Amino acid sequence: MPPIAIPFPEIDPIAFAIGPFAVRWYALAYVLGLLLGWWLCRRLIRAPQLWGRKPPLDDAGLDDFLVYIAVGVVLGGRLGYVLFYNLSYYIEHPTEAFRVWEGGMSFHGGLLGTILAMWVMARRRGIDVRELFDLAAAVVPIGLFFGRIANFVNGELWGRVTDVPWAMVFPNAGPDPRHPSQIYQAGLEGIVLFVVMMTLVRKGGLKRPGLAGGVFLIGYGIARIIGEFFRQPDVQIGFLAGGLTMGMILSLPMILVGIALVATAREPAKA
């Protein structure tokens, strides 16, 4: 162990309060991620040359899309956390499942909720759902970055015990120095994956429905599995068979689906 560990910065999880109404950094991360994602999506749909055809949404449609995505992310993310990570606890304390502001969200659950929301919108508007998935996939790393930073601010989802010089002692994680795995994941799932997606978009990735969505699934799955080697598993689950974690297991199907999407992505026939 290093003789001195970096102390965890004591950041108040409440960003600001107006009377009895408190706004937490965790909530701001979701809002900021959605708004920046909406802004970038608007730029993408206003550039038909990136699609090689008419973009799937106009400005008004994008506003509706944001609502669908927000509902899918919040409901799916919370339900996924309840089902995948802490079902027994919430069976005993069902009302606490609604306390989203206290943290406890599953990306994999949020992804499933988002896909369902996109499928509903695509059916209602007669749009190829792969195009909506591509549009969302291009900007999701923005939200992932801010979400992981919020995890760090909350002092949750800390890393495994380590002796690296930048190890931190997290509150409620015992006296041992640990990897700041939230920062690692913010870099991999946020910054690196965002660069990959933007490079793909510039190279014409949106011209083949399903390609951007598939690359995102593969990229996130790999980034998440790498991050899990440094992150301490949730105490109520721990390590699974073979030293795997729940995050690793849930990411493997993502990679397989992503490979299938990439393999079947084709440019639409010209009308």
Mean pLDDT value of segment 8-20: 82
Pairing of strands 21-24, 14-18: antiparallel
Residue 53: count of CB within 10 angstroms of its CB: 16
Name the nearest CA neighbour of 170 among 184, 187, 182. 182
Provide the pLDDT for residue 47: 97
Provide the pLDDT for residue 51: 97
Which range is most confident: 10-19, 45-54, 105-114? 45-54
Provide the pLDDT for residue 100: 64
Provide the pLDDT for residue 271: 53
d(CA 24, CA 149): 13
Provide the pLDDT for residue 94: 79
Provide the pLDDT for residue 1: 43
Higher pLDDT, 13 or 260: 260
Domain boundaries, the chain: 12-264
- The length of the chain is 271
| pLDDT at 87 > cutoff 90 | no
Question: Mean pLDDT in the chain?
Answer: 90
- Local structure of 271: helix, strand or coil: coil
Strand partners, 7: 169
Which two structure tokens, joined as six digits, stand for 39? 């802004």
Which two structure tokens, joined as six digits, stand for 249? 């297991």
- 127-131's contacts with Cβ under 8 Å and 24+ in sequence apart are 127/56, 127/57, 128/56, 128/209, 130/209, 130/210, 130/213, 130/261, 130/265, 131/56, 131/209
Provide the pLDDT for residue 4: 64
The answer to whether 68 and 116 have CB atoms below 8 angstroms apart is: no
Band of residue 81 on the pLDDT scale cut at 50, 70, 90: confident
Pairing of strands 168-169, 6-7: parallel
Band of residue 90 on the pLDDT scale cut at 50, 70, 90: confident
Band of residue 102 on the pLDDT scale cut at 50, 70, 90: low
% of the chain residues with pLDDT over 70: 95
pLDDT in tens, 161-195: 999 999 999 988 999 999 999 999 999 999 999 99
d(CA 146, CA 150): 6
- Local structure of 168: helix, strand or coil: strand
User: Given the structure tokens 């027994």, which residue do they identify?
Assistant: 88
Higher pLDDT, 52 or 100: 52
Residue 134 φ/ψ, nearest 5 degrees: -60, -45
Amino acid at 266: R
User: Given the structure tokens 């896909």, which residue do they identify?
Assistant: 115
Name the nearest CA neighbour of 213 among 200, 202, 225. 200
224 is in an annotated binding site: no
The answer to whether 262 and 268 have CB atoms below 8 angstroms apart is: no
- Classify residue 189 by its DSSP letter: I
Provide the pLDDT for residue 235: 81
Higher pLDDT, 65 or 16: 65
The answer to whether 41 and 206 have CB atoms below 8 angstroms apart is: no
